[in-house]
Amino acid sequence: MDSSKLGRSMYELMMRTSTELPEDVTCALEKAREREPVHSTAANTLDIILKSAELSRANRLPICQDTGVPFAVVRAPQAVDTAEITRALVSALKTLTIEGVLRQNCVDPVNGSNSGDNTGPHVPQVHYEPSEGPIRVDFMLKGGGSENVSTQYSLPCDELRAGRDLEGVRRCVLDAVFKAQGRGCAPGFISVCIGGDRASGYLVAKKGLFRKLGEANPDVDLARLESVITEEANMLGIGPMGLGGNTTLLGCALNAAGRHPASFFVTVSYSCWATRRYSVELDETGGVARWL
């Protein structure tokens, strides 16, 4: 691989993620605006959101000042030097932080100091998955506010009268959306992991946010439940930025992971309206083959 080409690809991937709202998210927000009464607070809020996203795209400025936690999933054949990809990601991260496209978001939890360049212990997160095909990099910037309202349930849950079935899952997800109110910057996109363990639940749920809004779940039962949850969440009245309205959720992605017989976790990853993620496929030289 050509390291300078690879570096430019990672730079462009991160730049785009911070400054260009993905097309599926923009479309979902536009559709949501049409559902809101003209001149309502909800419609005005969505107007401002869309206008601001347009300005960010045109001027290559961050969509949100909270440029989140950098999170990457790399799929590559065994022969690929993954350390080289990590180096390219870290270098692009540091450059974009200096340029102000990314905020310095890595704070030492013990002494409160900010590393200043978005790197630190376990930051950035880069997950490698072996694959047969070309190198694919999925990159996400997920803001702190939306991460704070993400949550995990252990079923059965008395408080929600949620049992170990899909009805229990529905109750958990709606509870998470309700408790988030406007704090997660609604209208959000949620991805859920049904099953798994405490750790894999959060990882699978977060990775599920790479699914595009409007893309159907191949599992018929889960697809049906996704529609039900989205529809019911939009009846909660939380609305854009929590200021009231018919649009609280843009979409829901349900994922399943094998569970231990004794455990039944439901993990909800909440993503704000500024859902920022892009996926790119690289050619052998490290250049961008295509955007996915």
Partner 1 sequence: MALRRIRSPMDPETAASLAVGDTVLVSGRIVTGRDQVHRYLASGGESPLDLTGMVLYHCGPIVVGDAGSHRVVAAGPTTSMREEPYQADVIARFKPGAVMGKGGMGERTSKALVEHGNRYPAGDAPACRGYVFPGSWNRSVHRDWCRPFWTTPVGVAPAPGNPCPGARGTVP
Please report, as ranges, the residues that interact with partner 1 according to CB under 8 A: 8, 11-12, 15, 39, 41, 44-45, 48-49, 51-56, 58-67, 95, 98-103, 112-114, 144-145, 148, 181-185, 240-243, 272-274
Nearer to partner 1 by Cβ, of 102 and 174: the residue is: 102
Q: How far is residue 183 from each of residues 20, 27, 143, 186, 239, measured CA to CA in Å? A: 22, 23, 11, 7, 11
Smallest gap from Cβ 137 to partner 1, in A, equals 16
* Least distance (Å) between residue 274 CB and partner 1: 7
14 vs 76, beta carbon nearer partner 1: 14
103/64 Cα distance (integer angstroms):
10
Nearest distance in Å: CB 20, partner 1: 12
Q: Which two tokens stand for residue 201?
A: 């639940």
> Which ranges in 122-244 belong to alpha helices (H)?
144-148, 166-180, 198-207, 220-233
Nearer to partner 1, 41 or 119 (CB): 41
Complex with partner 1: residue 27 or 228, whichever CB lies closer = 27
Query: How far, in whole angstroms, is CA 206 from its chain's centroid?
Result: 6
Minimum Å distance from CB 91 to partner 1? 11
Could you give the angle at the alpha carbon of 289 between the alpha carbons of 284 and 292, nearest 5°?
A: 130
Give the residue with the Cβ less far from partner 1, 10 or 194. Answer: 10
Minimum separation from the CB atom of position 160 to partner 1 (A): 22
CA distances from 16 to 10, 58, 216, 217, 271 (A): 10, 11, 25, 26, 18
